[in-house]
Amino acid sequence: MKKRNFSLILTLIIALGAILSACGKSNDNGASSDESKKNSFSVAMVTDVGGVDDKSFNQSAWEGLQEFGKDNGLKKGKGGYNYLQSKSDADYATNLNNLVRNDFNLVFGIGFLMQKDIEEIAKQQKDAHFAIIDAVVEQPNVASVVFKEQEGAFLAGVAAGLATKTNTIGFIGGMEIPVIEHFESGFLAGVQAVNPSAKVDVQYAGAFDKAETGQTIASKMYASGADVVFHAAGATGNGLFKEARDLKKKDPSKVIWAIGVDSDQSAEGVVDINGKEQNVILTSALKGVKTAVIDLSTKAKDGKFPGGDVISYGLAEDAVGLAPINAEVSNKADIESAVSEWKEKIKSGSLKVPATKKELATFKAE
């Protein structure tokens, strides 16, 4: 009986020793698990309905997140960098909450349409850090990123106004929201500055994920005499590119142009004509979403998350601009010279580009 009790006591002592040993262990680099968690950083984003591969806004943000992740030795997935795609507006809140529950240190909401959801969730999840692109949320745990889209769009308008031969130009917007109003107002001001005789046909698709609608609008614009069409419509703009390519393929002598947005979208304009490549993209109005995502993620990782701040990016910060002018344009040099001249006026502050239709109504280029 005594021997049995001794064996039981010995077993308990061994088990207790194993537990204490496990509790005292460090991880492989000598830090405790708590320290490891403290030193780690993870970041993720929620796309809007345009999708992560929209070749524009969301894709630019995702490219920034991927670059940041790789530069900092992070892996795609939980604990590293990731994204959740939204198929409809109803997915925004669910996706944002999922990323918070998965302990991502910083969660981006890509787009103005997530403003309300981020504001509500930020109030509930006070320890979580959020960043929203293209909107302002006044919460201490939210960093708001906005751009002076009108400045890049103005330069696109300068290019369009000088490239047009018909003096008829088109603008396709995604939805009538402030961000797209910036693009529209800046673009129309740029056209007006260099070609006041040109007319701009403005139409909205009512969505950022309807390429077929974008193509229908573009088809009507080109058929009505427009020879340059600019889109600020996310994935809807892919329809513009398809229409321009199809028209060029059908009639190679036809001189028509499309202008991209957010990223350099020249790859979307390639047309094979009798074994020779031509390109229907005149240029693209650039918006540094990628730059902003990397910048903000780096600050957050370094313990300098600008919660409650509104960070504005424009030409002066080299965060908006214009992609190279297509080499196939007959007056390429003239366009580049004009773009450079107007760009310096904007950067110096001598020219303020209108951001709204109200400001556009009283705008005078000097």
pLDDT one digit per residue (tens) for the chain, 366 residues: 444 454 544 444 444 444 444 444 444 443 343 344 445 899 999 999 888 988 888 999 999 999 999 999 999 999 999 999 999 999 999 999 999 999 999 999 999 999 999 999 999 999 999 999 999 999 999 999 999 999 999 999 999 999 999 999 999 999 999 999 999 999 999 999 999 999 999 999 999 999 999 999 999 999 999 999 999 999 999 999 999 999 999 999 999 999 999 999 999 999 999 999 999 999 999 999 999 999 999 999 999 999 999 999 999 988 999 999 999 999 999 999 999 999 999 999 999 999 999 999 999 987
Angle, CA of 57, 328 and 54, to the nearest 5°: 15
Helix axes 149-163, 332-348, angle to 10 degrees: 150
User: What one-character-per-residue DSSP string does 45-101 give?
Assistant: EE--TT-TTSSSHHHHHHHHHHHHHHHTT--BSTTSEEEE--SSTTHHHHHHHHHHH
**Domains located in the chain, CATH noted:** 39-147+292-297 (3.40.50.2300), 149-287+330-361 (3.40.50.2300)
Rounded CA-CA distance 178/358 in Å is: 12
CB 157 within 8 A of CB 167: no
Sequence-distant (6+) residues with CB within 8 A of 175 are 204, 205, 206, 207, 208
Burial of 16 (0-12, 13-18, 19+ CB in 10 A): exposed
Rounded CA-CA distance 153/343 in Å is: 11
Neighbours of 327 (CB within 10 A): 7
Tokens describing residue 153? 């769009």
Backbone angles phi, psi at 150, to 5 degrees: -60, -30
Strand, helix or coil for residue 7: helix
Find tokens 């797209």 and name the residue. 180
Rounded CA-CA distance 289/152 in Å is: 13
Rounded CA-CA distance 318/336 in Å is: 17
Q: Are strands 320-322 and 281-287 parallel, antiparallel or unpaired?
A: antiparallel
Neighbours of 205 (CB within 10 A): 26
AA letter at 181: E
- Say what the pLDDT of residue 56 is: 83
